[in-house]
Amino acid sequence: MNRQPIATDAAPAAIGPYSQAVRAGDLVFCSGQIALDAATGALVGEGDVAAQTRRVMENLRAVLEAAGASFDSVVKTTIFVKDLNDFVAVNEVYASFFGDAPPPARATVEVSRLPKDVLVEIDAIAIVVG
């Protein structure tokens, strides 16, 4: 099977030895995104989980689009949060990116620490049709 790395300047560059996403056949596996500004690399929304979630979703959208996918084609996500008490705030922003379409399958996990001490990280798997 052919494995194609996906990269876009519209999302933050990888901060380690990984791709922003990898396309394998009709599947796109997006690496976890955190709340970094693509242009500056600076953290967005320090201390504000809703602002960080919005940036994470915007970064994910950029990666999905670079792979020929969209939120409509996402089938699975994983949300990593520093504090599960932020679940409602994260969920509200997250849901707004999927609109009226059926939401994807999802897992949400509280973790002790995330890269750059952000409050939320989200990854995604999508299907590319066509």
Check residue 101 and give its pLDDT.
84
Give the confidence band of 129 by pLDDT, cuts at 50, 70, 90: confident
Model-wide pTM > 0.85: yes
Kindly report, residue by residue over 62-85, the tens digit of the pLDDT. Answer: 999 999 999 999 999 999 999 999
Q: Residues 6-46: pLDDT tens digits?
A: 999 999 999 889 999 999 999 999 999 999 999 999 999 99
- Sheet arrangement for strand 120-127: 3-6, 21-24, 27-33, 120-127, 74-81, 105-110
Please tell me the CATH code under which domain 3-127 is placed.
3.30.1330.40
Q: What is the DSSP string of 63-107?
A: HHHHTT--GGGEEEEEEEES-GGGHHHHHHHHHHTTTTSPPPEEE
Residue 47: per-residue pLDDT: 95
Delimit the domains of the chain by residue range: 3-127
- Residue 86 pLDDT more than 90? yes
Q: Is pLDDT at 1 greater than 80 in this prediction?
A: no
Confidence class of residue 130 from pLDDT cuts 50, 70 and 90? low
Would you say 130 and 91 are in contact if contact means Cβ atoms under 8 Å apart?
no
